[in-house]
Structure 1
Amino acid sequence: MTDLSTEVAALPDKSLLVMDDDAPLRTRLGRALEQRGFEPTLVGSVSEAITAVKSSPPAFAVLDMRLDDGNGLRVVEAVRDARPDARIIMLTGYGNIATAVQAVKAGAVDYLSKPADADDVVRALLARGDAPPPPPDNPMSADRVRWEHIQRVYELCNHNVSETARRLNMHRRTLQRILAKRAPR
C-alpha cells in the first residue's frame, strides 16, 4: 500500500468519483481509496454522478456498470466530455466481454469485476500508456467467480430459484444445492 500511496500523493489532482448503488461497497471502497490518498466523492446513482461531474469534473472515476437509474456508460461519457484526461475504471458484477468492450469504447481505461480489491483499483487508475495493470496478487478462484455470478443472477431474479435455474440453464435441484453451500474461497 505504501508504494501506491506515494504515487497517489505525487498526483497534482486527487479528485475521484466513486459511483455504486451498493452503499456498503461504495463506503468501503471510498474509505480505502481515501486512505491511499485520493479525495473521493461518493454517489449512488447515475443522476447524482452526472450532477457531481458537472459541478466538479474529477481526475479519476470508479463507476459501477449497472445501476437502478441507468447505465454507468452514461457517466463515462459525461466525465469524458467534462474532462477528457480523466482516468475511468468500470466495476461490475456482470463480468463479460461485451460490456468490457462497451466500457473501453466509451472511454474507460480498465474494467474490473466486483468485488475488486482497492489496491487493484488504484493500480488500474495509475497505470499509464497502453500497458495494462499487472494481474491481481490474489485473484478470485474460478469456483468463487462462478458462485458470485450465480448469487447475482439469483438476486436479479428476486430470489426465485426456478427463474434463476432457467436463466442459468441449470437444473433447479443443482442450483438449490449450490445456494445451500457456503461461498468458496
Structure 2
Amino acid sequence: MKTLLLIEDEQSFADILLRRLSHYGYRCLHGMSNEQGLALAQEHQPTHMILDLKVGSENSLVILPQLRALLPQSRIILLTGYASIATAVEAIKLGADDYLSKPVDTKTLLAMLVGETKDMEVSDTNIMSPSRLEWEHIQQVLKSNDGNISVTARQLGMHRRTLQRKLLKKPTSE
C-alpha cells in the first residue's frame, strides 16, 4: 500500500490535501512539525512524502537529509507558497525529488508523486510573474516579522511608505 506523509502546519490545507490524496489510494499521515514528521517517518516508513517549506517557524529543508537517509526509496516533494530558484536548488541538493509551489492542482501533484514529471508540459499558468513573486516575498518577510511594517521595510531595503503602497495593491493573478 502507498503511504504518504504530509508535513504541513496549516490544518485546513492539510485536511483538503489529505482528503484528495486518500481518494487516489494513499494511506495518509500528517505531521504538524518537523519533529512530528520525523517520528511518523521512522514509525510508518512512508513511500511518499510532501513537506511544506515553512512549518511554523521552522524550515523543513533541515530535515530533508535525515528523511532521505532514513527512506532512500521514498519519493519526497517540497511544497511551498514561497517558491524561489534558490530554495528549489537547495531542496534538490538536500534530497527532494521535486519542488512545487502552492497552489498545486491534484493532477500535477499526483504526477509528481509517481515521478512522471518528464512528460509534463510547463504552462504559462504555472509561472509566476515578477510582480507576483515580489508580493509573495513581501508577504513572507512581513509574516516573519509578525506584521511589523517598519522592520519589514528595513529588511527589504525600502521606505516604509513604499512598502505600505505595495501592500495596498492586490497581487496579480499571473
**TM-score, with normalisation over the residues of structure 1?**
0.79
1:134 is matched with 121
SS in 2 for 1:15: strand
- Structure 1: 5+ residue stretches without partners: 1-12
**1:171, 1:108 → 2: CA distance?**
37
Aligned length: 172
Q: Aligned match of 1:108 in 96, 100, 106?
A: 96
Does the CA contact (< 8 Å) of 1:49 and 1:75 recur in 2? Answer: no
Does 2:164 match 1:181?
no
Residue 184 of structure 1: how far off its partner (Å):
2.4
Give the % identical residues.
37
Q: 1:183 to 1:118 in 2, by over 3 A?
A: same
**2:84, 2:116 → 1: CA distance?**
24
**What pairs with 1:75-86 in structure 2 (closer than 5 Å)?**
75-86=63-74
Does the CA contact (< 8 Å) of 2:49 and 2:76 recur in 1? Answer: yes
What is the CA deviation profile of residues 101-140 of structure 1, one whole-angstrom value per residue up to 9, with x for unaligned ones? Answer: 22112211111223333332222222258x3743257325
2:53 is matched with 65
Residue 57 of structure 1: how far off its partner (Å):
0.9
- Structure 2: 5+ residue stretches without partners: none
Q: CA RMSD in A?
A: 2.4
**TM-score, with normalisation over the residues of structure 2?**
0.84
1:161 is matched with 149
1:16 is matched with 4
